[in-house]
Amino acid sequence: MNDISVSELKKRLDAGENIMMIDVREPYEREEFNIGGTLIPLGQISDVKNKFPNAKDDEIVVYCRSGARSGVAKLQMMGMGYNKVRNLTGGMMTWQTNFR
């Protein structure tokens, strides 16, 4: 599935869409700034199977600081059978640059 830009995600959230989001950063990064996704650090991404066992065909946006870790998370989740995983390009760095 194609990745998603910060502009597209923000527009959809502002429109009230209920979008499943997973934050793959570390807890201290989330404390600094977050947009409300479920925290599952990259090193624990296999936990997604327990937290969201019935979401394999749902759109899921994964994000991190820059988009690198979430890109890895996307690939790992796709390997676990999650079919509609989208990486937030540019991550929280781009989000904060555009919307703070």
Cα-to-chain-centroid distance, residue 1: 13
DSSP helix/strand/coil, 57:
coil
Active site residue 48: no
- Between CA 89 and CA 36, with CA 80 as vertex, the angle to 5 degrees is 45
Encoding tokens for residue 90? Answer: 């540019």
How far lies 95's CA from each of 36, 49, 56, 74, in Å?
13, 27, 26, 19
- Calculate the CA 22 to chain-centre distance: 4
Per annotation, catalytic residue among 64, 77, 85, 88: 64
Catalytic site positions: 64
